Amino acid sequence: MKRLRTFFRRHVLWVVFFAVAIPLASILALQYRSLSKLEKTSTVAEKVWMKNYLGDVTKEVKYYYRTTAEQVLNVPAAAITGERLRNSRHLFGKCEAKGAKSLFIVSFASPGESEIFFYKPSGRGKIIEPPLAELRAANVAAAPLKMLSEERTPVQTTTVTTDERDLENRIIMKPITDDSSQVVGVAGMIIDNRYFREHYLPRAIQNSLPKFFPDDAQDNVIVTVHDGAGQLVLATQPVKGQDNETWMPVPYFQDWRIAIRSRDMTPEQWAHWNFNFNLALSVALTVVLLGGIALALRTVSHELRLSQMKTDFVSNVSHELRTPLSSIRVFGEFLKLGRVAGPEKVREYGEYVETESRRLTQLIDNILDFSKIESDRKTYQFERADVAEVVGATLKTFDVQLKQHGFGVDLRLPPGRLPVAVIDSESIAQALMNLLDNAVKYSGESKEITVRLGHRAGFITIAVTDRGIGIAREEQGKIFEKFYRVGTGLVHDVKGSGLGLALVEHIVKAHRGRVTVESEGSGRGSTFTIHLPATEGLGGHAETPQSAPILSGDSTFRFDLKR
């Protein structure tokens, strides 16, 4: 249980991320399944919707002509007997037969004979000489009912029927029966093909469109009508787009075909596009949500890490402050109590007090400078200076601290003269002391530090090399971040503020230079190099001293100038 708690505490952010990601992935999988089913049902539904539209149009056509025929062709048997049929000018119902070329009545009143009379579509007024084609079509259509009349066979129903044997003269007719259900005549109407094609059918098609397709969807459907020869009779739009279509025969025009198709996408393509769009939208939303969660967790992780760094900083700074203060206090107590054998010891203790005071001052300066940098109040006093003199003075100041730790410094100067640089001498000295302090802390058992001065590619270089623990390649880009400390075991045994290298980088960048690090890894040491712009074009060179005073110290410390 303890291990589990430790694991959750160390990986709480990953646990939270997966706790959110797994349900989201499950929801996405369920949505994928639902969208797959929706794609299939959408295809079927779209086809059914188109078929229902065609059914509505054909139903409207059938209803119109059947209703008109039943109203107009409702002729009683008494009206077609005797002289009344020959003399009457109005035998049909009151409704006008719109869409008819003519009306006709065939009488079987005389056995073995039949008479046929044609009337205008309004039913008022006879047509004395009907066209032969219409006359022939009416006789052919009435022939079966004439046979029933001659056989005296009663009919069971008197509903309207159609005869389409003559495609130019399609007939809707209704038998006329007497009280004994014997057929005594036929009332019929010949459909006007032109009226149907140019007026009624286009109106029926347009009236049904809004019932099944919204305004924005009507542009995507094309309704076409072809006659029996395959010729295009009408189309709601120019015929193009998809080849597959849904079709039905047209009532009373059984050789004609009314069809509907998609202009841009078939129902299958539309359903597939809709599936892809919704799936992509769901995936995008999931990714955005996961990205937001990951960003939030990353921010929280960064804040937690920063908080831990600040906690470590306070702890390390407290230790750093306590160490020199303790030394100063001890040596001060020795001097106060008079436990000093002679002037040499007094001078030695004084040097220790001075060294620890400088160390304390350096730490406090780092903290104050970091505070100024954070609040953007850090300023520099630039002036022409000799970098070699600044480095020599800094090493002399660092002498006692190096001597206390038993370090030797090998200072190497270039063979020629160094150019003058425009620098803030105190800041450069502070940056060098931070590099030297790091070299002392992380050198381990090795007590050798090399400082090289050079001049190349327009830059004056100050390189500090130690032979200590080294820095892993993957961490070399992070060591200049504030509070960052290399994740090596020895590092955590050494106290530090985590600000030194961050200050070095800021100081060098303020001088329009750069700082680099070279290290081959664990146990092979590191080299930190400060690159400062030279001012060769701004005013000559400064004399580089051929020798410098050897700093005082015992045999464990040497300060040699090498060309």
Tell me, what CATH number does 177's domain have? 3.30.450
Residue 482 near residue 499 (C-beta atoms within 8 A): yes
Cα–Cα distance for residue pair 502/431, rounded to 1 Å: 10
| CA 175 from centroid of its chain's CA atoms | 71
249 and 276 in a single domain? The answer is: no
Q: Is residue 365 part of a domain?
A: no
Alpha helices in 338-397 (DSSP H): 343-374, 387-397
40 and 78 in a single domain? The answer is: no
Q: Is residue 204 part of a domain?
A: no
Q: What is the CA radius of gyration of the chain?
A: 54
106 and 43 in a single domain? The answer is: no
pLDDT of residue 292: 82
301 and 403 in a single domain? The answer is: no
52 and 180 in a single domain? The answer is: no
Query: Which DSSP symbol is given to 77?
Result: G
Cα–Cα distance for residue pair 23/290, rounded to 1 Å: 11
311: its two tokens: 């906690």
Q: What share of the chain is helix, strand, coil (3-state, %, to 5)?
A: 50, 20, 30
CA max distance for the chain: 166
pLDDT tens digits in sequence order for the chain, 563 residues long: 667 666 556 666 677 777 777 887 888 788 778 778 777 777 777 788 889 999 999 999 999 999 989 888 888 887 777 666 665 556 776 667 888 999 999 988 766 678 888 988 876 778 888 999 999 999 999 999 888 888 888 887 778 999 999 999 999 999 988 888 888 889 999 999 999 999 999 999 999 999 888 887 788 889 999 999 999 999 988 887 667 788 999 999 999 999 998 887 766 766 777 778 888 888 888 888 878 888 887 787 777 777 776 776 666 666 666 767 777 887 787 777 776 777 777 777 777 777 778 777 777 777 777 677 667 777 888 999 999 999 998 888 787 777 777 888 888 988 888 888 899 998 899 899 889 888 888 887 778 899 999 998 889 999 999 888 888 887 887 888 776 666 554 444 555 566 788 888 989 999 999 999 998 766 778 899 999 998 754 333 434 333 333 333 332 334 343 33
Residue 498 near residue 512 (C-beta atoms within 8 A): no
Number of domains in the chain: 4
Q: Which of 215, 222, 229 is nearest to 245 (CA)?
A: 222
Residue 54 near residue 221 (C-beta atoms within 8 A): no
547 and 427 in a single domain? The answer is: yes
Give the strand pairing for 448-456 and 459-466. Answer: antiparallel
Task: Give, in order, the Cα–Cα distances in Å from 270 to each of 2, 51, 186, 266, 276.
Answer: 57, 17, 52, 6, 10
Domain finish residue from 145, 163, 195: 195
Q: Is residue 10 part of a domain?
A: no
Domain finish residue from 322, 349, 367: 322
pLDDT of residue 548: 36
Angle, CA 539 vertex, CA 533 and CA 542 arms, to 5°: 80
Cα–Cα distance for residue pair 97/16, rounded to 1 Å: 79
Q: Is residue 450 part of a domain?
A: yes
pLDDT of residue 516: 92
Cα–Cα distance for residue pair 331/343, rounded to 1 Å: 14
Give the CATH number of the domain where residue 494 resides: 3.30.565.10
Q: Is residue 146 part of a domain?
A: yes
257 and 274 in a single domain? The answer is: no
Range of the domain at 236: 213-262
Tell me if the pTM is above 0.85: no
Name the 3-class secondary structure at 146: helix
Domain finish residue from 167, 195, 223: 195
CB atoms within 10 A of CB 402: 23
484 and 468 in a single domain? The answer is: yes
Burial 193-211 (b: 16+ CB within 10 A, else e): beebbeebbbebbeebbee
Q: Is residue 341 part of a domain?
A: no
461: its two tokens: 């270089």
410 and 537 in a single domain? The answer is: yes
Half-sphere exposure of 535 (CA within 13 A, CB side): 17
Q: Is residue 358 part of a domain?
A: no
Q: Is residue 3 part of a domain?
A: no
Beta strands in 6-99 (DSSP E): none
250 and 277 in a single domain? The answer is: no
Half-sphere exposure of 464 (CA within 13 A, CB side): 23
pLDDT of residue 491: 47
- Could you tell me which residues are beta bridge partners of residue 224? 235, 259
Alpha helices in 151-266 (DSSP H): 193-195, 201-212, 215-218
Reading across the β-sheet that carries 246-250, which strands appear in turn? 232-235, 221-226, 253-262, 246-250
pLDDT of residue 550: 31
Residue 423 near residue 382 (C-beta atoms within 8 A): yes
97 and 124 in a single domain? The answer is: yes
494 and 385 in a single domain? The answer is: yes
Cα–Cα distance for residue pair 222/226, rounded to 1 Å: 13
Residue with tokens 């010891």: 345
